[in-house]
Homo-oligomer: A and B are copies of this chain.
Amino acid sequence: MKALVQTGPNSLVHREEQDPSPAAGEAIIRVEAVGICGSDMHAIHGHDPRRPVPIILGHEAAGRVLTGKLAGRRVAVNPLVVPADCPFAREGRPHLSPRREILSMPPRAGAFAELVRAPEENLVEIPEAMPAAQAALAEPVAVSYHAVHHGARLLGRPLPSARCLVLGGGAIGLAAALVLLQGGAGETWLIEPNLARRATAARAGVALARAPEEGPEEGSCDLILDAVGAAATRASASRLARPGGVIVHAGLLPGAEGLDVRRLTLQEITFTGTYCYTPGEFRTVVRLLATGRLGALDWLETRPLAEGARAVADIDAGMVAAAKLVLVP
Protein backbone atom coordinates (compact mmCIF):
# COMPACT_ATOMS: atom_id res chain seq x y z
CA MET A 1 0.00 0.00 0.00
CA LYS A 2 0.94 3.64 -0.29
CA ALA A 3 1.38 5.48 3.01
CA LEU A 4 2.54 8.84 4.27
CA VAL A 5 5.48 7.94 6.50
CA GLN A 6 7.15 10.26 8.96
CA THR A 7 10.87 9.58 8.74
CA GLY A 8 12.19 12.40 10.93
CA PRO A 9 11.26 15.83 12.30
CA ASN A 10 9.21 17.65 9.64
CA SER A 11 9.95 14.90 7.13
CA LEU A 12 6.99 13.09 5.55
CA VAL A 13 7.44 10.69 2.64
CA HIS A 14 4.65 9.21 0.52
CA ARG A 15 5.96 5.73 -0.26
CA GLU A 16 5.18 2.05 -0.57
CA GLU A 17 4.73 0.21 2.73
CA GLN A 18 3.79 -3.34 3.63
CA ASP A 19 0.03 -4.01 3.81
CA PRO A 20 -1.28 -4.52 7.36
CA SER A 21 -2.40 -7.99 8.52
CA PRO A 22 -5.45 -8.21 10.78
CA ALA A 23 -5.14 -9.93 14.14
CA ALA A 24 -8.06 -11.91 15.60
CA GLY A 25 -11.13 -9.66 15.89
CA GLU A 26 -9.60 -7.05 13.63
CA ALA A 27 -10.46 -5.89 10.12
CA ILE A 28 -8.66 -4.11 7.31
CA ILE A 29 -10.23 -0.81 6.24
CA ARG A 30 -9.57 0.94 2.95
CA VAL A 31 -9.07 4.54 4.13
CA GLU A 32 -11.24 7.05 2.24
CA ALA A 33 -10.42 10.06 4.41
CA VAL A 34 -8.18 10.80 7.39
CA GLY A 35 -7.96 14.08 9.26
CA ILE A 36 -4.80 15.82 10.44
CA CYS A 37 -4.89 16.40 14.20
CA GLY A 38 -2.90 18.82 16.32
CA SER A 39 -1.26 15.79 17.94
CA ASP A 40 -0.13 14.64 14.46
CA MET A 41 1.42 18.07 13.93
CA HIS A 42 3.12 17.84 17.33
CA ALA A 43 4.64 14.47 16.38
CA ILE A 44 5.61 15.66 12.89
CA HIS A 45 7.48 18.53 14.50
CA GLY A 46 9.46 15.90 16.39
CA HIS A 47 8.06 16.68 19.84
CA ASP A 48 6.34 13.41 20.73
CA PRO A 49 8.73 10.78 22.15
CA ARG A 50 5.79 8.30 22.28
CA ARG A 51 5.86 8.22 18.46
CA PRO A 52 9.38 7.25 17.29
CA VAL A 53 10.11 7.34 13.53
CA PRO A 54 9.61 5.81 11.05
CA ILE A 55 5.88 5.93 11.78
CA ILE A 56 2.54 6.19 10.02
CA LEU A 57 0.52 8.83 11.89
CA GLY A 58 -3.21 9.65 11.56
CA HIS A 59 -6.07 8.50 13.82
CA GLU A 60 -9.14 10.29 12.40
CA ALA A 61 -10.17 7.81 9.71
CA ALA A 62 -13.20 6.71 7.76
CA GLY A 63 -13.42 4.20 4.92
CA ARG A 64 -14.73 0.86 3.68
CA VAL A 65 -14.16 -2.44 5.46
CA LEU A 66 -12.40 -5.01 3.30
CA THR A 67 -12.28 -8.08 5.56
CA GLY A 68 -14.27 -9.88 8.24
CA LYS A 69 -17.91 -9.77 9.21
CA LEU A 70 -18.28 -6.07 8.35
CA ALA A 71 -16.72 -6.43 4.88
CA GLY A 72 -18.32 -4.04 2.42
CA ARG A 73 -19.63 -1.61 5.05
CA ARG A 74 -18.49 1.98 5.27
CA VAL A 75 -17.37 3.01 8.74
CA ALA A 76 -15.88 5.66 10.95
CA VAL A 77 -12.94 4.23 12.91
CA ASN A 78 -12.73 4.74 16.66
CA PRO A 79 -8.95 4.74 17.09
CA LEU A 80 -8.95 4.14 20.84
CA VAL A 81 -8.29 0.51 21.78
CA VAL A 82 -8.70 -0.66 25.38
CA PRO A 83 -8.69 -4.25 26.72
CA ALA A 84 -12.20 -5.17 27.87
CA ASP A 85 -10.89 -6.55 31.16
CA CYS A 86 -9.38 -3.23 32.28
CA PRO A 87 -11.04 -1.95 35.49
CA PHE A 88 -11.60 1.43 33.83
CA ALA A 89 -13.36 -0.28 30.90
CA ARG A 90 -15.59 -2.11 33.37
CA GLU A 91 -16.42 1.22 35.02
CA GLY A 92 -17.54 2.61 31.66
CA ARG A 93 -14.48 4.85 31.34
CA PRO A 94 -12.18 2.88 29.02
CA HIS A 95 -10.63 6.11 27.77
CA LEU A 96 -8.96 6.52 31.17
CA SER A 97 -7.29 3.12 31.05
CA PRO A 98 -3.51 3.12 31.57
CA ARG A 99 -3.51 0.33 28.96
CA ARG A 100 -5.24 2.44 26.30
CA GLU A 101 -3.74 2.26 22.81
CA ILE A 102 -4.48 4.56 19.91
CA LEU A 103 -4.01 4.07 16.19
CA SER A 104 -0.85 6.02 15.21
CA MET A 105 1.03 5.24 18.39
CA PRO A 106 3.16 2.05 18.67
CA PRO A 107 2.29 -0.79 18.65
CA ARG A 108 -0.54 0.41 16.34
CA ALA A 109 0.02 2.01 12.93
CA GLY A 110 -1.98 5.08 11.94
CA ALA A 111 -4.26 5.77 9.00
CA PHE A 112 -2.18 8.12 6.83
CA ALA A 113 -2.26 5.21 4.38
CA GLU A 114 -4.45 3.36 1.91
CA LEU A 115 -5.12 0.62 4.45
CA VAL A 116 -5.38 0.45 8.21
CA ARG A 117 -6.21 -2.36 10.62
CA ALA A 118 -8.46 -1.88 13.61
CA PRO A 119 -10.58 -4.00 15.98
CA GLU A 120 -14.00 -4.71 14.48
CA GLU A 121 -15.67 -3.42 17.65
CA ASN A 122 -14.07 -0.02 16.94
CA LEU A 123 -15.87 0.35 13.60
CA VAL A 124 -19.05 2.42 13.53
CA GLU A 125 -21.18 2.13 10.42
CA ILE A 126 -21.98 5.26 8.41
CA PRO A 127 -24.55 5.78 5.64
CA GLU A 128 -23.43 4.87 2.11
CA ALA A 129 -24.05 8.45 1.01
CA MET A 130 -22.09 10.16 3.80
CA PRO A 131 -18.96 11.90 2.53
CA ALA A 132 -15.92 10.14 4.00
CA ALA A 133 -14.28 13.44 4.96
CA GLN A 134 -17.28 14.28 7.16
CA ALA A 135 -17.16 10.84 8.76
CA ALA A 136 -13.47 11.44 9.48
CA LEU A 137 -14.63 14.30 11.75
CA ALA A 138 -16.15 11.78 14.15
CA GLU A 139 -12.96 11.47 16.18
CA PRO A 140 -12.23 15.16 16.85
CA VAL A 141 -15.92 15.93 17.31
CA ALA A 142 -16.14 13.06 19.82
CA VAL A 143 -13.33 14.74 21.76
CA SER A 144 -15.40 17.95 21.83
CA TYR A 145 -18.63 16.12 22.62
CA HIS A 146 -17.02 14.37 25.58
CA ALA A 147 -15.46 17.63 26.83
CA VAL A 148 -18.81 19.44 26.71
CA HIS A 149 -20.86 16.73 28.41
CA HIS A 150 -18.15 15.92 30.95
CA GLY A 151 -18.21 19.61 31.89
CA ALA A 152 -22.01 19.73 31.90
CA ARG A 153 -22.16 16.79 34.31
CA LEU A 154 -19.76 18.56 36.69
CA LEU A 155 -21.74 21.80 36.38
CA GLY A 156 -24.83 19.95 37.52
CA ARG A 157 -27.22 22.28 35.71
CA PRO A 158 -28.98 21.81 32.36
CA LEU A 159 -27.09 23.32 29.44
CA PRO A 160 -30.10 25.47 28.40
CA SER A 161 -29.72 27.39 31.68
CA ALA A 162 -25.99 27.95 31.20
CA ARG A 163 -23.86 30.63 29.57
CA CYS A 164 -21.14 28.67 27.80
CA LEU A 165 -17.87 29.83 26.31
CA VAL A 166 -15.25 28.16 24.16
CA LEU A 167 -11.69 29.48 24.04
CA GLY A 168 -10.08 28.77 20.66
CA GLY A 169 -11.65 28.31 17.23
CA GLY A 170 -9.66 25.37 15.88
CA ALA A 171 -11.41 22.10 15.08
CA ILE A 172 -11.88 21.06 18.74
CA GLY A 173 -13.11 24.51 19.79
CA LEU A 174 -15.44 24.94 16.82
CA ALA A 175 -16.86 21.44 17.27
CA ALA A 176 -17.35 22.12 21.00
CA ALA A 177 -19.37 25.23 20.14
CA LEU A 178 -21.48 23.21 17.67
CA VAL A 179 -22.04 20.49 20.29
CA LEU A 180 -23.09 23.16 22.81
CA LEU A 181 -25.56 24.64 20.31
CA GLN A 182 -26.88 21.16 19.50
CA GLY A 183 -27.26 20.52 23.24
CA GLY A 184 -29.34 23.66 23.62
CA ALA A 185 -26.87 25.74 25.65
CA GLY A 186 -28.41 28.97 26.92
CA GLU A 187 -25.71 31.03 25.24
CA THR A 188 -22.69 29.82 23.28
CA TRP A 189 -19.69 32.10 22.86
CA LEU A 190 -16.55 31.24 20.93
CA ILE A 191 -13.50 33.42 21.55
CA GLU A 192 -10.84 33.36 18.82
CA PRO A 193 -8.30 36.07 17.95
CA ASN A 194 -7.99 35.00 14.28
CA LEU A 195 -10.50 36.77 12.03
CA ALA A 196 -10.65 34.00 9.40
CA ARG A 197 -11.38 31.38 12.06
CA ARG A 198 -14.12 33.59 13.53
CA ALA A 199 -15.65 33.88 10.06
CA THR A 200 -15.52 30.09 9.64
CA ALA A 201 -17.21 29.63 13.01
CA ALA A 202 -19.90 32.17 12.19
CA ARG A 203 -20.63 30.39 8.88
CA ALA A 204 -20.81 27.09 10.75
CA GLY A 205 -23.56 28.57 12.92
CA VAL A 206 -21.78 30.04 15.95
CA ALA A 207 -23.42 33.48 16.14
CA LEU A 208 -21.32 34.66 19.10
CA ALA A 209 -17.86 34.07 17.57
CA ARG A 210 -15.91 37.03 18.95
CA ALA A 211 -12.43 38.46 19.39
CA PRO A 212 -11.04 38.22 22.96
CA GLU A 213 -11.75 41.89 23.69
CA GLU A 214 -15.40 41.44 22.67
CA GLY A 215 -16.09 38.52 25.02
CA PRO A 216 -18.63 38.29 27.84
CA GLU A 217 -18.04 40.03 31.15
CA GLU A 218 -15.75 38.58 33.80
CA GLY A 219 -17.26 36.14 36.27
CA SER A 220 -20.26 35.42 34.05
CA CYS A 221 -19.66 32.06 32.33
CA ASP A 222 -21.07 28.84 33.79
CA LEU A 223 -19.18 26.45 31.52
CA ILE A 224 -15.89 27.24 29.78
CA LEU A 225 -14.06 24.95 27.37
CA ASP A 226 -10.41 25.82 27.01
CA ALA A 227 -9.58 24.30 23.62
CA VAL A 228 -6.16 25.97 23.57
CA GLY A 229 -4.65 25.03 26.94
CA ALA A 230 -2.09 27.81 27.22
CA ALA A 231 -1.19 30.03 30.18
CA ALA A 232 -3.17 32.91 28.63
CA THR A 233 -6.34 30.90 28.08
CA ARG A 234 -6.17 29.36 31.56
CA ALA A 235 -5.89 32.89 32.96
CA SER A 236 -8.85 34.05 30.84
CA ALA A 237 -10.91 31.07 31.93
CA SER A 238 -10.07 31.79 35.59
CA ARG A 239 -11.38 35.35 35.17
CA LEU A 240 -14.44 34.60 33.04
CA ALA A 241 -15.84 31.70 35.09
CA ARG A 242 -18.89 32.42 37.20
CA PRO A 243 -18.74 31.41 40.87
CA GLY A 244 -19.57 27.69 40.95
CA GLY A 245 -18.67 27.43 37.26
CA VAL A 246 -16.69 24.77 35.42
CA ILE A 247 -13.57 25.05 33.25
CA VAL A 248 -12.85 22.09 30.96
CA HIS A 249 -9.22 21.96 29.84
CA ALA A 250 -8.52 20.16 26.56
CA GLY A 251 -4.98 21.27 25.73
CA LEU A 252 -1.63 19.54 26.12
CA LEU A 253 0.76 22.43 25.49
CA PRO A 254 3.77 22.55 27.82
CA GLY A 255 3.50 24.76 30.91
CA ALA A 256 1.08 24.91 33.83
CA GLU A 257 0.79 28.64 34.55
CA GLY A 258 -2.25 30.85 34.33
CA LEU A 259 -4.73 29.27 36.71
CA ASP A 260 -5.92 31.59 39.47
CA VAL A 261 -6.01 28.98 42.23
CA ARG A 262 -7.14 31.53 44.83
CA ARG A 263 -10.18 32.59 42.77
CA LEU A 264 -10.96 28.95 41.97
CA THR A 265 -10.97 28.24 45.71
CA LEU A 266 -12.92 31.28 46.93
CA GLN A 267 -15.50 30.99 44.13
CA GLU A 268 -15.70 27.17 44.05
CA ILE A 269 -14.77 27.02 40.40
CA THR A 270 -14.06 23.55 39.05
CA PHE A 271 -11.16 22.91 36.66
CA THR A 272 -11.16 19.54 34.95
CA GLY A 273 -9.10 17.80 32.34
CA THR A 274 -10.65 16.05 29.38
CA TYR A 275 -9.16 13.46 27.04
CA CYS A 276 -10.77 11.36 24.32
CA TYR A 277 -14.28 9.90 24.71
CA THR A 278 -16.11 6.68 25.42
CA PRO A 279 -17.20 4.23 22.68
CA GLY A 280 -20.81 5.26 23.32
CA GLU A 281 -19.95 8.92 22.82
CA PHE A 282 -18.13 8.12 19.57
CA ARG A 283 -21.27 6.35 18.29
CA THR A 284 -23.50 9.24 19.31
CA VAL A 285 -21.29 11.67 17.44
CA VAL A 286 -21.32 9.55 14.26
CA ARG A 287 -25.13 9.66 14.41
CA LEU A 288 -25.19 13.44 15.02
CA LEU A 289 -22.81 14.02 12.11
CA ALA A 290 -24.65 11.64 9.75
CA THR A 291 -28.04 13.22 10.44
CA GLY A 292 -26.91 16.81 10.02
CA ARG A 293 -27.47 17.73 13.68
CA LEU A 294 -24.10 19.52 13.82
CA GLY A 295 -24.62 21.56 10.66
CA ALA A 296 -23.25 21.38 7.14
CA LEU A 297 -19.70 20.40 8.23
CA ASP A 298 -18.26 22.52 5.47
CA TRP A 299 -15.44 23.77 7.69
CA LEU A 300 -13.10 21.10 6.36
CA GLU A 301 -10.82 21.02 3.35
CA THR A 302 -9.59 17.89 1.55
CA ARG A 303 -6.15 17.27 0.03
CA PRO A 304 -4.60 14.17 -1.56
CA LEU A 305 -2.64 11.99 0.88
CA ALA A 306 0.22 12.00 -1.62
CA GLU A 307 0.50 15.77 -1.00
CA GLY A 308 0.45 15.36 2.79
CA ALA A 309 3.84 16.96 3.30
CA ARG A 310 2.65 20.09 1.50
CA ALA A 311 -0.60 20.09 3.51
CA VAL A 312 1.35 19.98 6.76
CA ALA A 313 3.61 22.80 5.61
CA ASP A 314 0.58 24.91 4.72
CA ILE A 315 -0.90 24.35 8.20
CA ASP A 316 2.42 25.38 9.77
CA ALA A 317 2.48 28.50 7.57
CA GLY A 318 -1.05 29.45 8.67
CA MET A 319 -2.24 29.12 5.08
CA VAL A 320 -5.22 26.85 5.80
CA ALA A 321 -8.47 28.69 6.47
CA ALA A 322 -10.52 25.56 7.16
CA ALA A 323 -10.74 24.36 10.76
CA LYS A 324 -9.85 20.81 9.68
CA LEU A 325 -7.69 19.46 6.88
CA VAL A 326 -8.55 15.94 5.70
CA LEU A 327 -6.29 13.75 3.55
CA VAL A 328 -7.69 11.45 0.86
CA PRO A 329 -5.55 8.40 -0.12
Contact = CB atoms under 8 A, between A and B. Distances in A.
A106 to B, nearest CB: 18
A130 interface: no
B93 A244 contact: yes
Which has the most chain B C-beta neighbours within 10 Å: A234, A243, A260, A263? A243
A52 B268 CA distance: 26
A268 B259 contact: no
For A97, A156, A261, the residue with the greatest tally of chain B CB atoms inside 10 Å of its CB is A261
Contacts of A255: 261
Nearest to A219: B98
Interface in A226-285: 229, 234, 243-244, 249-252, 254-257, 259-275
Contact of A274 (B243, B265, B272, B273): B265
Bin chain A's interface residue count. 35 or more
Interface of A: 88, 91, 93, 95-98, 150, 153-154, 156, 219, 229, 234, 243-244, 249-252, 254-257, 259-275
28 contacts: A88-B244, A93-B243, A95-B268, A96-B267, A98-B243, A153-B156, A229-B261, A229-B265, A234-B261, A249-B261, A249-B264, A249-B265, A252-B262, A255-B261, A256-B257, A256-B259, A256-B260, A256-B262, A259-B259, A259-B261, A264-B271, A264-B272, A265-B274, A265-B275, A267-B275, A269-B272, A270-B271, A271-B272
Given A261-B273, A264-B271, 19 more contacts: A95-B268, A96-B267, A98-B243, A150-B268, A229-B261, A234-B261, A249-B261, A249-B265, A256-B259, A256-B261, A256-B262, A264-B272, A265-B274, A266-B273, A267-B275, A268-B272, A268-B273, A269-B272, A270-B270
